[in-house]
Amino acid sequence: MTSDPRAFLAVDQGAATTSAALIGRLAHRWRVIGSLATPAPGDVDAIGTELVRRVHAADPDLADGLGLTIAGAPAGIAELASDLPRLVARSAPARTLLAMAVSDRALEPLATAARKTGWRTRGASLDGRDPLQLTAAILDRDVDVILVGAGDPPGADERRQLDELGAVVAGAVARRPELTVILAGAMADQLARIEPGGAERGGEILLGPPATAGDPPGDPLQRLLDDVRGGPDDPRRAAGRITAALADVLDRRIELIEIGFDGGLRATASPGVEGGEGTSQVSIVADAALVPPDPDDVTVDRVLAWATISLDRHRLRDRLRELRLWPWSGIAGDGARLRLAAARAALGVLIDATPDQSALPAPDLVVIAGGAFAAAPGPAVALALADVVRRPAAVAIAQDHARLLGALGVIPDPIERRQALADLVDDVLAPLGSVVIPAGIRAGASAGRLTIHAGTGASDSDLVPGGLELVDLPPGEVATAEFAFRDSVRLGARGRRFAVDVAGGLGGLLVDLRDVPLRLPDRPERRRELLDAWQESLWVTRDR
Amino acid sequence: MGDARPMTATARAGGNGATSRPHGRGLDLVARRSLLSDVAEVGFRLAPGDRPLVAAGDAIVAGTTIAERVRDPHLVDVPAAAADPDARSGDRWSSVGRPLARVRRGNETEIGELIYEHGGRWRLAVGEHLEPIDCPVAGVVREIRPGIGIRVRAEGRALPGVEALGDPTNGRLSLGSDRGDIRYGRLRSTSLDVGLAGTILVIGSRVDAEALTRARAMGVRGVVVSGLAGKERRDFLASEARQRASLHRLPPFAVLILDGVIRRPIAGPIAAVLEALAGSTVAISVDPPALVFDAPKVRVDPPPAEHVRVRSGEHAGEEGRWAGLAGIRRFAGGTFLEAGWVVFGDDPPRPVPLADLERFV
């Protein structure tokens, strides 16, 4: 970096997408000038060159103001782009962890901790399994880390076989010196057996806390597993930091939800009160990937439940396998809707895997990120979230359209990170709108009345049970929605009359009067028709 | 995609109604795909108990048996005193010359692999029924890791695929009965006969599990296909599992999938390589999935730099010439995507989503 850069590239090198945003300093603050994404592994130099070229084509004066003055095109543009300072976030590659314990009971919390920290998790215990199978499981080259755990002190069902499990692990680990081994709880007593003196190892042997230790239970082990999984520039590892910074900058409760190629992320953060530290909680779930590496029947069923295109199971599985192989291809046509159906299914997995975060107070703002949502129109993305996250509340929804949060999250200095985010937050978050989901609405002709007080005046409409009400509220506009329900409902609190401040966006205001949780018809044709009817008005640009 | 149009109004160029002028810029943004790699390292998985028969550094010829797979591995115990004091997990163990070697379970165990030591006894992985693991390529054994795998640095070059099913194999490359159909062809089970025994067949775009099963029964060693549907893949794997379980196994058979799942023709540059290799002995490697060949005289000219292929989408399989970036454009389904101009044949340039394109390097 030069001492006073006026532009830089923020690069996010993900598993499926390489994206870069050109950030420039204008009027004493950082602004997003442009962004571009290509399938991974993309050529960052080429992306940077194209971004700089577009700035020159659109506004040469702006380019000069950012110090992007060309000596001689086109070679000059490429040189200029390659000289730009870069802030790079690199997603850690998906890795597999094998959790092991004496019994299935002891295995469960270990596997849960691993599943919440982004590991592709396998499990094996001595319960009814041949030690030869356990050895083969450890020797599988797809396994990168093994987590062997026991309670501390070990439970009655564990004590008798701890030694044998230690012997099995020691025997297999001796053949794989590159393997990282984590001994949790009482398994730490087996360290001498697993790491005999003088043995040369490439992989680390780490001692960790028991899987149920800490408050909340498992938190210390999850922190350790998170450290082992991601490097310092892994954007998912930085999700807690950037979500906390966002909560601090906006002074609102934030939830960041990302569905990506190798997993899903859910980060929640609240701003500090009276100068205190804010709080954040992060879960990274590998099973919540857009499409798992080998989509099984369960995955196909999940996606089929949200699909609006008519496909039999075999063809859907083929499309999903193809999506896994080439995650960015085939988007045009019905590909975007298939991706959004897969994203809904993955979102469901993410929500099911994080019940503790669902139990937190509803956030003020939900930020959507990840390639799964990149090709869909903003309003359809907002509906996808409302379909799956059935929380009786009013929330604003925004999208990290330029994939910048990951890159900003890896800025190591918290003050710099906060400052950069404060400058860029309006450019980073594309407002999709607000969603209001009241729960407990009874069937009938009318559930009540809705009055919207906006800058342009007031509008009044009827609330139809089971329906979706879309109110046009453009980005940047703030309104007050007054609900007068016929019966008592839950919307944060229980009551009949509510006044909610709502923010506009690409999708406006979505008043969702459907069931909580959402009930869909069992018959596939009827379900498809219903889903299609709900989405029809939101894919505003779809062909007719 | 047929109704693609720009998101923003742009100046019209010339009198043909084109919305912007195609140019050659932006090719670097198109995904690259390796046509050939110079170095091929082929892997063979081993399970605990399997017996490597070669040593690191050994030079081997194609067809060498490099290991024996134990079909019925199980554990037996021997006293720790029956093993060398410095014995380690993964070492081979034999009862020959060891009077203390008394096996607790099983009968007449003579040789096995040390797995772990516990309670003053070593546990051994042993088995009675063995089957050979043959290396289909010539090369040098680079690494042997008992219970994990063997890696062989193969001589020659490799044409990578996306997946390979079955066991590594080799044979004479055959383009099938209809050479003109190499890219688009379909293998029907009725078109197979024993005259194809020992060959690796190039099938254009489609094959079903029945044809694969019949091909194996006819002595065909492998199949190269552009795409394999999930149902055919599942049926073939089930057939393969039954074959593994039978006592009298047929020679190894593999399916190399070049592109993926949906039906699309074999890419032109790849088809050119395969045509050049017709009649040569080639091998299918499962790890990594690739066609490996040692044919230094076969010259492969890379396609022109601006040659691009539509990997998926409405025009999947078509190939053309890159004519520059088209910017963000609207495509069918109401999606807005970065696109590039592609010239197909003599047609005017058409916008295609960047993400659907690939180029061979």
Beta carbons of A130 and B48 less than 8 angstroms apart: no
Report how far residue A31's alpha carbon sits from residue A12's, in angstroms, rounded to the nearest whole number.
Answer: 17
Q: Do residues B81 and B57 share a domain?
A: no
The reply to whether B209 and B187 lie within a common domain is yes
Contacts of B149 in chain A (CB under 8 A): 141
Selecting from A317, A318, A543 the residue whose C-beta is nearest the C-beta of B332 gives: A543
Same structural domain, B258 and B215: yes
Q: Do A47 and B29 touch (CB under 8 A)?
A: yes
Residue A119 CA, chain-centre distance (Å), reads: 14
Instruction: Quickly tell me which residue has 């190894």 as its tokens.
Output: B252
Which residues of chain A are within 8 Å of residue B147 when distances are taken between CB atoms?
135-136, 139, 172, 175
Partner residue opposite B260 with nearest CB, options A39, A74, A326: A326
Q: Which residue of A has its CA nearest to B90?
A: A175
Task: Provide the residue range defining the domain that includes B54.
Answer: 38-68+134-155
Residues B168 and B274 in one domain: yes
What's the distance, Cα to Cα, between the start and end of chain A in Å? 50
pLDDT at B179: 43
Substitution target from A38, A49, A326 for chain B, most B beta carbons within 10 A: A326
Are B341 and B324 within 8 A, CB to CB? Answer: yes
pLDDT beyond 60 at A197: no
Q: Using CA atoms, how far apart are residues A337 and B1, in angstroms rounded to an integer? A: 15
End-to-end CA distance of chain B: 27
Q: Which residues of chain B have a CB within 8 Å of the CB of A45?
A: 28
pLDDT digits (tens, 9 = 90+) for A251-309: 999 999 999 999 999 999 999 887 777 888 999 999 999 999 889 999 999 999 999 98
Number of neighbouring beta carbons within 10 Å of residue A503: 21
Q: Say yes or no for a CB contact (<8 Å) between B89 and A171.
A: yes
Cβ separation A317–B335 shorter than 8 A = no
Per-residue pLDDT of chain B (361 residues; tens, 9 = 90+): 344 444 433 333 333 333 444 566 899 999 999 999 887 799 999 999 999 999 999 999 999 999 999 999 999 988 888 888 888 999 999 877 666 555 545 456 578 999 999 989 999 999 988 999 999 999 999 999 999 999 999 999 999 999 999 999 999 999 865 545 666 666 666 677 778 899 999 988 778 888 898 899 889 999 999 999 999 999 999 998 888 887 777 789 999 999 999 888 999 999 999 999 999 999 999 999 999 999 888 888 889 999 999 998 888 889 999 999 999 998 887 788 999 999 999 999 999 999 999 999 8
Residue range B141-181, pLDDT digits in tens = 999 999 999 999 999 999 999 999 999 999 999 986 554 56
* Cross-chain Cβ contact A336/B356 below 8 Å: no
A424 CB burial (10 A radius; 0-12, 13-18, 19+): buried
pLDDT at B203: 86
Closest Cα of chain B to A529: distance in Å? 17
Contact pairs from chain A to chain B, CB under 8 Å: 166
The 10s digit of each residue's pLDDT in B72-89 is: 999 998 888 888 888 899
Which residue among A38, A135, A325 sits closest to B115, beta carbon to beta carbon?
Answer: A135
Whether residues B29 and A50 touch (CB distance < 8 A) is answered with yes
Burial class of residue A339 in the structure, from the number of CB atoms within 10 Å of its CB (0-12 exposed, 13-18 middle, 19+ buried): buried
Boundary residue ending a domain (B254, B272, B293):
B293
Of B119, B261, B336, the CB nearest to A321: B261
Residue with tokens 């998912």: A236
Contact between chains at A331 and B116 (C-beta distance less than 8 A)? no
Could you tell me the two tokens for A361? 């107070």
Sheet of strand A86-90: strand arrangement: A29-39, A17-26, A7-13, A86-90
Answer whether B116 sits within 8 Å of A540, measured CB to CB. Answer: no
Residue A541, token pair as written in the block: 């640009």
Q: Examine the pLDDT at A503 and tell me if it is beyond 70.
A: yes
Is B209 in the same domain as B280? Answer: yes
Structural domains for chain A: 7-90 (3.30.420), 96-229 (3.40.50.360), 239-536 (no CATH)
Which residues does chain B have within 8 Å of residue A19's beta carbon, measured at their own beta carbons? none
Residue type at position B147: G
Q: Are residues B282 and B181 in the same domain?
A: yes
Chain A residue with Cα closest to B351: A332
Distance CA A266, CA A427 (A): 22
Judged by a CB distance cut-off of 8 A, whether residue A540 touches chain B is yes
With beta carbons under 8 A apart, name residues in chain A contacting B353. 329, 331-332
Are B280 and B308 within one domain? Answer: no
Distance CA B125, CA B49 (A): 5
Do B160 and B229 lie in one domain? The reply is yes
CB contact under 8 A, A332 and B45: no
Angular region, A497: left φ>0, alpha ψ -120 to 50, beta rest: beta
Query: Which chain B residues contact residue A170 at CB under 8 A?
Result: 89, 116
CA distance B308 to chain A (A): 14
Residues B100 and B9 placed together within one structural domain of the fold: no
Which amino acid is it at A378?
G
Mutant choice from B113, B116, B328 vs A, greatest count of A C-beta within 10 A = B116
Do A145 and A95 contact (CB within 8 A), yes or no? yes
A46-68 pLDDT per residue, tens: 999 999 999 999 998 999 899 88
One domain for residues B236 and B173: yes
Regarding whether B23 and B109 lie in a shared domain, the answer is no
Per the CB < 8 Å rule, is B115 touching A333? no
- What residues pair up with A439 in beta bridges, in sequence order? A490
Q: To probe the interface with B, which of A35, A47, A139 has the most B CB atoms within 10 Å?
A: A139
CA A410 to chain centre: 16
If one counts the domains in chain B, the total is 4
Decide if A373 touches B, using CB distance below 8 A.
no
CA distance B226 to chain A (A): 13
Which of A176, A325, A335 lies at the smallest CB-CB distance from B333?
Answer: A335
Q: Quick one: which of A88, A100, A119 has its CA closest to A283?
A: A119
How far apart, in whole angstroms, are the C-alpha atoms of residue B337 and residue A375? 8
- Chain A residues with CB under 8 Å of B325 CB are 50
DSSP H stretches of helix in A307-441: 313-325, 335-353, 355-358, 378-388, 405-409, 414-428
| Residue among A173, A225, A234, A236 at smallest CA distance from A199 | A173
**Same domain membership, residue B164 and residue B99:** no
Chain A residues whose CB is inside 8 A of the B231 CB are 314
Residue contact B332–A539, C-beta within 8 A? no
